[in-house]
Amino acid sequence: MGTVTLGVSIAVPEPYGRFLQEQRARFGDPAAHAIPTHVTLLPPTEADPADLPRIEEYLAEVASEFRPFTLRLKGTDTFRPLSPVVFVKLVDGKAGCTALQERIRAASGPCARELQFPYHPHVTVAHGTSEEAMDRAQRELADFEAAWTIGGFALYQQGADGVWRLERNYPFGAPVGGVPRQADLTRPPAPSR
């Protein structure tokens, strides 16, 4: 039956999400319209379709442990020369995103995985385009700024056509078999064993 490719992320809300997606397309990124504008929590991960119910239950449990927090984007940066990516920087909300992604990827859960690079929350605006286009993206979006309160995250699945589609939203503090728990984001929650 094969595998499915899953990802977990925080969606960038409108009008910011559409604006940044249009800019990504304008800079020539071929994946611009296949990837909703987001902050990654779990990068593309192969999974057995039979594991989806367990993964969904686990993500609901993780979401129940967190409460809303503010994300603020401001300015641009790049991962070049290590990786051909220009991004909008996350200047507030790093601790919350880091705690979330650690909990989602916990060794005790069904989404356990190692990362290729250290976790660095950001919003990609150019990937794999020409150096000139990446320079333009970094320069033209240098004054971009947006802030909002996030109330959860989402599970996406990549289709055979390469397009990422929303599978399910996971609101923070939602009960999973009882009263909602809320994490203190000043310290990451300990992974359950």
Q: What is the CATH number of the domain that holds 100?
A: 3.90.1140.10
> Helical H runs in 67-172?
94-104, 131-140
Residues 6+ positions from 46 with CB-CB distance below 8 Å = 3, 4, 5, 6
Q: pTM of the entire structure? A: 0.88
181 located within any domain: no
Residue-level pLDDT at 174: 61
Least confident of 10-24, 114-128, 171-185: 171-185
CA distance 58 to 72: 27
Q: Is residue 180 part of a domain?
A: no
Strands 164-171 and 152-158, by their bridges, are: antiparallel
For 64, the 3-state DSSP assignment is helix
pLDDT attached to residue 181: 40
The rounded percent of the chain whose pLDDT value lies above 70 is 89
Q: Is residue 183 part of a domain?
A: no
- How many domains is the chain built from? 1
Tens of pLDDT, residues 138-157: 999 999 999 999 999 999 99
Domain presence at residue 100? yes
- What pLDDT shows up at residue 1? 61
Give the pLDDT score at 116.
87
Residue 38 domain boundaries: 4-171
